[in-house]
Structure 1
């Protein structure tokens, strides 16, 4: 049943560009949970709709690419929801690199269009995402302009998706709750295997409607409780309604000489 569901999803116009590992993962899960093929396929499509509902549509990707070709990078990036929420990007990365140091090589997991901005800064970046349309668009842009960027298809819930390191910094922005909602333990497993000495892990502090409802406190307690022992928090701050944790592998050095516990820095 799994192969049949997978083939139908892969042949559909709506999901043909999605990461094959994602399609197979969802097909396997639904085939396991439902006895009837039609019910399993319906459930798989509903699951994928929930995962991809906020993704850029093909016509939006086309307009974003046109803006990039016209030299309007900011106009292109603001078409992506998560990137738009992070504006102004210059201030966001200035604050991040002031704390973590400017990286030479970055891994961006579930990257969206973020690698475009980093590559334009001259930072070598590999972005991984399940959205094939944006992966192809970003690679065309990087190839045409000679930017130090590569975008790859990959699913953070599937084995072997991480590219070979080492990287100076990994970005996992607003990702961990999404993974954990789909598979318990996935958040800690991702952090455990990151191929870098440092990582920036972020969380939303407000709902889409703008309500706070204790999200910062909730995600702080949750993340600090699941962080694997081999990692330590060395900074924590909030910017543009985004809670940002900077972590490093135990034994790694920082420019600050301090660790953070429960949101407070300690010398």
Structure 2
């Protein structure tokens, strides 16, 4: 068996990594095999990179079966359903950081958009649970993409419970980005994670997407709570990403998140 297949099989046999998209494991594994002296070192380095990309954000893993029971029990009562969604989003670091400003975040950023019929949420984590806070029409089609198959199964069940026109995809968005057209594409604190794998990943991904609007955000503090210089650093990174693109940009700064709402060339051609 070639070394890359042995590495991939070893990692996917681990309970911690077995739900991750195999294409991503192979992509990172191939990079690490080129840099490391042995298969053992490459396996260790690949696991470390996978932790940086996704595992670090799931310090408290949801009991998906119990969570779905909670959602079903409260689905008949809209206020209680939102409370349950709010509670469950605490299990993922990215959505947990947004909870204190959840009402303000989406209402402020998306308030003046034209009708949105299709949404793509890339590296979604548990963010689809924020659907009750999104100022979107009830019939909107929502596509959630992530690397974890068990999380996506949970999200698909959530869509069905909440009667959302939603679907999920397990995908390595670095090597296989979606190219269908969407009215709104969410890249919430996603690009810095992708650049842990490939320093050109952000630019390559954004160049492949076909969205009329992009909502791109960055954390204003690390998972450990340090925030010095992060707003300035990510502002510069976004400006470099936007340079040379025909974009109109609105900037929003919240306590834990820096966000940019982009009208892309696709949208600008439609209104000109």
Q: Same-fold call, TM > 0.5?
A: yes
| Equivalences for residues 111-126 of structure 1 within 5 A | 111-118=124-131, 122=138, 123-126=140-143
SS for the counterpart of 2:49 is helix
| Equivalences for residues 46-195 of structure 1 within 5 A | 46-51=48-53, 52-55=55-58, 58-71=61-74, 72-87=84-99, 88-118=101-131, 122=138, 123-158=140-175, 160-162=176-178, 164-195=179-210
SS for the counterpart of 1:235 is strand
Question: Which residue of the partner structure matches residue 18 of structure 1?
Answer: 20
Change (3 A) 1:193 1:13: same
1:197 maps to 2:209: no
SS for the counterpart of 2:87 is helix
Gaps of 5+ in 2: 75-83
Contact 1:116 1:149 survives alignment (8 Å): no
Q: CA RMSD in A?
A: 2.5
Which stretch shifts more, 52-61 or 169-178?
52-61
State the Cα distance separating 1:2 from its structure 2 match.
0.2
State the Cα distance separating 1:64 from its structure 2 match.
3.3
State the Cα distance separating 1:241 from its structure 2 match.
2.4
- Alpha-carbon distance in 2 for matches of 1:193, 1:125: 19
Per-residue CA deviations over 1:16-40 (Å, capped at 9, x if unaligned) read 1111111111221222222422222
Change (3 A) 1:66 1:252: same
Contact 1:166 1:195 survives alignment (8 Å): yes
Contact 1:198 1:249 survives alignment (8 Å): yes
- Alpha-carbon distance in 2 for matches of 1:173, 1:2: 31
Which stretch shifts more, 214-223 or 45-54?
45-54
Gaps of 5+ in 1: 258-267
State the Cα distance separating 1:156 from its structure 2 match.
2.2
SS for the counterpart of 1:206 is coil
Which stretch shifts more, 199-208 or 66-75?
66-75
* TM-score, normalising length: structure 2: 0.83
Change (3 A) 1:3 1:155: same
Question: Which residue of the partner structure matches residue 263 of structure 1?
Answer: none
Which stretch shifts more, 181-190 or 205-214?
205-214
Per-residue CA deviations over 1:135-191 (Å, capped at 9, x if unaligned) read 011112223443211121112222x231x5211111101111222232121111111
SS for the counterpart of 2:172 is coil
Contact 2:106 2:133 survives alignment (8 Å): no
Per-residue CA deviations over 1:68-112 (Å, capped at 9, x if unaligned) read 223222222233221121124232211121144452211111111
Question: Which residue of the partner structure matches residue 248 of structure 2?
Answer: 233
Change (3 A) 1:56 1:69: farther
* TM-score, normalising length: structure 1: 0.84
